[in-house]
Structure 1
């Protein structure tokens, strides 16, 4: 079963190809460039390198958010379009779940991946591996980082934090959690598209017509527009 995975939910662009129990290839970059003009060439290059034709794909898996509003939308739109044109199933996986799996597979404790959401806020959730299966302990959410670590301090366990935005929040984490806080190595911070493919390989397929990204919150521009409309009414 050949699975193509697509992650454009943050600065990291990840494309993966999984064939059964074999990772055929991955493309990962962590640079501030427009995903919209890079994702299709990246998919094409990886598939050509792995000698895989589109008709051979059995499934597509996409990181469904949260993350960058534009980035999430790009990945989901491309994944839906490809799945529809190839007539193959599509599954969505939480972008935070992918980050947790990429950093915490062999960590003995909880894993808290996060993405910066500005103004002291983060997108985050809490995960833990049980018998090599990733379990969600606390649902993905948008929360102040200070409030989040206060909640986590109630846990009697070490917590692994993984994020390319660690430097923006590490002081808050250290101050509240002390030795309970463990920070992932820099080589573990980019969510791996192979993990995305593996997480979504056996997951139930979505309805292509109703599947939408999980933004968790409205984009700032949309939220401001709604406030303006409420004022007018």
Structure 2
């Protein structure tokens, strides 16, 4: 990752993510949303993304020359979907001559899901309490794209476990062991499963025996603003990715490739 000179304090950042069923696009200024569109329909992402970008720019009175950086969700998630945003971001970054930075889709999902959850359930979140946030994106066959983050405030969660594809059953047991091995003062006050939770709610509920009301399972669809906030933070520290070597984080083979490898 390159470490160029920091961008100016006032900046506009275009944020994109197509790794999930949500086609998420936002234009940010200093981490604040100027305009945002989150459209659902995974099969239409490739057709709609450029027109959505144009619509967001127009609605925020933003010219191409006003954009000073592009933040893009690099997955993991949909194999095809993830490539769409990354390709669009690299193309626009090259055309507009602006830096680009890749953002973990799971980090954005954890951030947005936690903020969404605590806004709806403020009485369950105390100041300074340790919260573990587990974002989920369904990966079929009992698998999820997931990671583990922690937050004690409403700022961006920090990472405890890397993005990966995991069996949900195994992941629950790993979380149980981690909780049991954590010093009492560092144990989470609450655990929040956020994101694509519906197919995995029953498995996640197994933690209820150990956690009781400290367990929260919240359905949440990714919003582009959180890709933008995380991207803005990286730009402010002088981070950016090489436009040509930036690639999606697939974490697994495409189904067609996996099927091909299974053939004798």
TM-score, normalising length from structure 2?
0.81
Which residue in 2 is equivalent to 1:182?
216
Structure-2 residue corresponding to 1:89: 99
Name structure 1 gaps, 5 residues minimum: none
Deviation at 1:32, TM superposition (A): 4.2
SS in 2 for 1:58: strand
> What are the within-5 Å matches in structure 2 for residues 70-219 of structure 1?
70-105=80-115, 108=129, 109-130=131-152, 132-154=155-177, 155=179, 156-157=187-188, 158-164=190-196, 166-178=197-209, 179=212, 180-184=214-218, 186=219, 189-203=220-234, 204-219=239-254
Which deviates the most, 104-113 or 85-94? 104-113
2:109, 2:231 → 1: CA distance?
Answer: 14
For residues 174 and 82 of structure 1, the distance between their equivalents in structure 2, rounded to whole angstroms, comes to 43
Distance 1:79 1:52 in 2: 17
Matches of 1:161 and 1:198, distance apart in 2: 21
In structure 2, distance between residues paired with 1:115 and 1:183: 13
1:127–1:33 CA distance, 2 compared to 1 (3 A): same
Matches of 1:31 and 1:76 in 2, distance apart? Answer: 18
- Structure 2 segments unaligned to the other structure (5+ residues): 1-10, 119-124, 180-186
Note the aligned Cα RMSD (angstroms): 1.6
Distance 1:150 1:61, change over 3 A: same
1:18 is paired with a residue whose SS is: strand
In the alignment, the residues of structure 2 paired with residue 130 and residue 89 of structure 1 have an alpha-carbon distance, to the nearest angstrom, of: 31
Instruction: For residue 191 of structure 1, give the secondary structure of its aligned residue in structure 2.
Output: coil
Cα distance in 1, alignment partners of residues 89 and 192 from structure 2: 30
Separation in structure 2 between the aligned mates of residue 83 and residue 32 of structure 1, nearest angstrom: 23
SS at 2:157 equivalent: strand
Distance 1:21 1:197, change over 3 A: closer
